[in-house]
Amino acid sequence: MPTIPATPSETGPEPLDRPGPAASPPAVGSTSAGEIALPDAQPAAADLARAAATAAGNLIAPPAPVRLGDVVPAPERVTPDAAADFTLTGDEAIRVSPAGRAVAEQLAALLRPATGHPLPVTETAAPGPAGALTLTVSDAARPLDTGAATDGTDLGDEGYRLDVTTDGVRITAATPAGLFYGVQTLRQLLPAAVEHRTPVTERWTLPGGSIVDRPRYPYRGAMLDVARHFFAVPDVLRVIDHLARYKLNHLHLHLTDDQGWRIAVPGWPRLATLGGAGEVGGGPGGHYTTDDYRRIVRYAADRHVTVVPEIDLPGHTNAALVAYPELAPDRVAPPPYTGTEVGFSYVDPASERTYDFVADVLAELAALTPGPWLHIGGDEAFKVKGAAYTGFVERVQAIVAATGKTVVGWHQIAPAAHTDGRVLQWWGTGGDDPATAEAVRRGARLVLSPGNHAYLDMKYAPDTPIGHDWAGLIDVRRAYDWDPATHVTDVPPEAVLGVEAPLWTESVTSLPEIEFMLFPRLPAVAELGWSPRSTHDWSGFRERLAGHGPRWAAAGITFHRAPEVPWPAEPDTPHLTTPTIPTQPGPDTAAQPA
């Protein structure tokens, strides 16, 4: 019987800029494995660690522990060069062209804690000397046309090229987003110990060769339901870190449902204060202030993740009716709801007050949200049928258009008239839906979240302690083995905008439980969204994925030890000492994996 491991004691998000050596007292120790474990507390201690690592490295020069192709999601093109491994000495600088500055700081923040290396960031467009990590944002990269990198590949808005040679590492992209994804790849090419947040002794060798990479789909997402159970801002930021690690670029927040309304709306204060005060099972719930929400979208944007806010309408609205009974068909406030049934509540589609409410809420959300999307729900409105339903959706679509945003809705909105750019989110469990195919013919595009493959709230196996099974059991192979391009009958591949893995949270109550449902299925869906179909291969994927177990363990990420994945026998945890960066938020280093 799998168990969900203990909550990491400190599980905040990764800071964008983690300072280098900090001024807290040192806690130098030696672990039972005989490795030196140092905090990044004192330059002298970091120097010692570096000297030890270099001395150890000089004794033998084994090949890089990670192969160039061991990346998730699989890159488009990988050309290994066994003679070109590069080992960090600690003396490297990160050289970056001005547009890539923030990404360079992010790379430094990822590498400094475990390596103890200072990794100063230098802003320069000039080519770097040997031994540098060079990041370049260049328009020439679309199509790529930079010296040795010339091969005519158009890296587009999110692609990158990474070259590891005996001289150093170079990442080139046309945009900061592409550079950021190159950094995520670089991170995976270092030994798993790089995920520790305190210095460890390790030979930091990168496998030689080149990767040229860009995504299959522009929309690669995950959804977090913060309505059934509320999750505070640090939990959401940590989920954003998880998305970014796997090159996902959209976070859909399911902000409202029967059990809770989670976003403050200035003109309608009781939505959050009354409507937010509860959750499934009767807990206290909560809501995001507009500042909380701004913090989430800013943190996401810094990691090239677009937030897609959802206000679920016209059903799934009990919490709104508790707060404002004038929206209810009978104008009577229902009791707060803490159960898990669906389909019983709705705002009155025949009342003008309802459209005032919708317009105010969506205008506020549009103003707070930098991304192009507003998600209007539309699922399971069992009591609003036929013309009442399509008429409602069409009015709401027009309200969204008036805010300047593009509408997204669950695929039930298909029968409503087309409006510019609209996107349907497919969550069916078959592959056949004439109404959806017809909406696509009228111009809609699809984001694919098939319930029987992409739903992260489904159990892995009958004995999974949390989750649902109405769409079946979803083990890692099932999460991986489907093709977004051909999944829905009579929908051409060009109509598919991308994929999204939703996590509904009726039974999910904490960050470790979120992570347990995400890992290892989120990387599977990420690979479907990013990697070319030609790389799709279950046996290769499970091998690559296995190498991520030690990374999650080191980062304090809870995960399900899925039996179909050949995890390394020993979790890579012996380096650990007590966390020594108490003043900074960050993943806990002492957590044990599942």
Calpha distance 282→288 (Å, rounded): 19
Structure tokens at 411: 């695929």
Q: How many CB atoms lie within 10 A of CB 590?
A: 16
Q: How many CB atoms lie within 10 A of CB 140?
A: 15
Q: How many CB atoms lie within 10 A of CB 190?
A: 23
- Looking up tokens 């898990």 gives 340
Q: What is the DSSP letter of 117?
A: -
Structure tokens at 568: 């390394």
Alpha helices in 410-453 (DSSP H): 434-441
Using rule CB under 6 A, residue 410 touches ligand TNX: yes
Calpha distance 539→184 (Å, rounded): 23
Shortest spacing between CB 515 and ligand TNX, in angstroms = 18
Using rule CB under 6 A, residue 204 touches ligand TNX: no
Quick check: helix, strand or coil at residue 317?
Answer: coil
The residues with which 95 forms a beta bridge, in sequence order, are 122, 134
Residue 369, C-beta contacts closer than 8 angstroms, at least 6 positions apart: 297, 307, 309, 405
Residue 162 host element (H or E): strand 160-165
Shortest spacing between CB 400 and ligand TNX, in angstroms = 18
Closer residue to ligand TNX in complex, CB, 342/401: 342
Shortest spacing between CB 187 and ligand TNX, in angstroms = 32
Calpha distance 576→31 (Å, rounded): 7
- Pick the closest to residue 40 from 24, 56, 53, 51 (CA basis): 24
What is the footprint of ligand TNX within residues 32-71 (CB under 6 A)? none
What is the footprint of ligand TNX within residues 293-352 (CB under 6 A)? 342
Using rule CB under 6 A, residue 380 touches ligand TNX: yes
Closer residue to ligand TNX in complex, CB, 56/342: 342
Q: What is the DSSP string of 214-232?
A: --S-SEEEEEEETTTS---
Sign of CA dihedral 177, 251, 453, 489: negative
Half-sphere exposure of 424 (CA within 13 A, CB side): 31
Quick check: helix, strand or coil at residue 400?
Answer: helix
Shortest spacing between CB 382 and ligand TNX, in angstroms = 11
Closer residue to ligand TNX in complex, CB, 392/504: 504
Calpha distance 491→486 (Å, rounded): 7
Calpha distance 327→274 (Å, rounded): 15
Shortest spacing between CB 508 and ligand TNX, in angstroms = 10
Calpha distance 453→448 (Å, rounded): 10
Give Cα separations from 113 to 222, 272, 307 (angstroms).
28, 39, 29
Which one of 379, 433, 475, 515 is in contact with ligand TNX (CB under 6 A)?
379
Using rule CB under 6 A, residue 468 touches ligand TNX: yes
Using rule CB under 6 A, residue 28 touches ligand TNX: no
Shortest spacing between CB 254 and ligand TNX, in angstroms = 8
Closer residue to ligand TNX in complex, CB, 36/474: 474
Instruction: Please check whether residue 196 is in contact with residue 576, taking contact to mean a CB–CB distance below 8 angstroms.
Output: yes
Shortest spacing between CB 410 and ligand TNX, in angstroms = 4
Closer residue to ligand TNX in complex, CB, 8/450: 450
Which one of 427, 460, 530, 559 is in contact with ligand TNX (CB under 6 A)?
427
Amino acid sitting at position 12: G
Closer residue to ligand TNX in complex, CB, 344/355: 344
Q: How many CB atoms lie within 10 A of CB 386?
A: 8
Give me the helix-helix angle, 521-530 and 511-518, nearest 10°.
Answer: 50
Size of the site for ligand TNX (CB under 6 A): 10
Closer residue to ligand TNX in complex, CB, 252/445: 252
Calpha distance 8→576 (Å, rounded): 14
Q: What is the DSSP letter of 385?
A: -
Closer residue to ligand TNX in complex, CB, 389/504: 504
Closer residue to ligand TNX in complex, CB, 242/254: 254
Instruction: Please check whether residue 153 is in contact with residue 144, taking contact to mean a CB–CB distance below 8 angstroms.
Output: yes
Using rule CB under 6 A, residue 572 touches ligand TNX: no
Closer residue to ligand TNX in complex, CB, 500/506: 506
Q: What is the DSSP string of 470-481?
A: TT----HHHHHS
Closer residue to ligand TNX in complex, CB, 220/468: 468
What is the footprint of ligand TNX within residues 496-555 (CB under 6 A)? 504, 506
Shortest spacing between CB 245 and ligand TNX, in angstroms = 25
E-strand stretches of 316-396 = 373-377
Using rule CB under 6 A, residue 252 touches ligand TNX: no
What is the footprint of ligand TNX within residues 437-456 (CB under 6 A)? 455
Shortest spacing between CB 257 and ligand TNX, in angstroms = 7
Sketch the per residue contact string, 486 through 505, with ligand TNX: x for CB under 6 A, - otherwise: ------------------x-
Does the annotation mark 380 as catalytic? yes
The residue from 380, 394, 438, 564 that is catalytic is: 380
Shortest spacing between CB 449 and ligand TNX, in angstroms = 8
Structure tokens at 499: 């994929």
Shortest spacing between CB 427 and ligand TNX, in angstroms = 4
Instruction: Please check whether residue 75 is in contact with residue 211, taking contact to mean a CB–CB distance below 8 angstroms.
Output: yes
The answer to whether the peptide bond before residue 520 is cis (omega within 30 degrees of 0) is yes
Which one of 457, 500, 527, 572 is in contact with ligand TNX (CB under 6 A)?
457
Q: Cite the active site residues.
A: 380
Query: Which residues sit at the interface with ligand TNX, rule CB under 6 A?
Result: 342, 379-380, 410, 427, 455, 457, 468, 504, 506
